[in-house]
Amino acid sequence: MSSLLVLNGPNLNLLGTRQPDIYGRVTLDDIEKMCRSYAKQKGVGLEFAQSNHEGALVDHLHAAKGTHDAVIFNAGAYTHTSVALMDAVSSVGLPVIELHLSNVHAREAFRHKSFLAPVALGIISGFGARGYTLAIDAALSHLGAEP
């Protein structure tokens, strides 16, 4: 059975109350439940994690090697700043899907730069919470695990 890590970065624990005009009212708990139920339906294993700390996110990526087959990664603001996360993605050699709830290209210019994009399998941005199930589908299709 394939296994996915869904990894979330800083401030995503505040979804639901954080800038609902941009991110909606859905909480990270809701997103986790949605991912777990979708993964169950698809017959894929799923670990769901969140951290506000860059080094902890690096540790999660390292631990994913040998445990998971692909990573769905909403790195939050670290997307736009973190060479360490880019290097971690390159180092583990797993397919990583960069994910954003909002369309980062329709927002401030500093959000147009992604350190992850050059090392990611692909990017899903602007579809809100639905992006997580789209990313699960994309990961499974990449892994050839979809019927």
Interface ranges with ligand DQA (CB under 6 A): 11, 74, 76-77, 79, 100-102, 104, 111
Name residue 47's beta-bridge partners: 5
CB of 43 to ligand DQA, least distance (A): 27
- Nearer residue to ligand DQA within complex by CB, 46 or 116: 116
CB 36 within 8 A of CB 3: no
Q: Which two tokens stand for residue 34?
A: 């949605």
Cβ neighbours of 35 (radius 10 Å): 21
Establish whether 142 is a catalytic residue: no
Q: Which amino acid is at 113?
A: K
Q: Which of 23, 60, 68, 78 is catalytic?
A: 23
Residue 23 a catalytic site member: yes
Q: Which is nearer to ligand DQA, 66 or 108 (CB)?
A: 108
Among all residues, which ones are annotated catalytic?
Answer: 23, 100
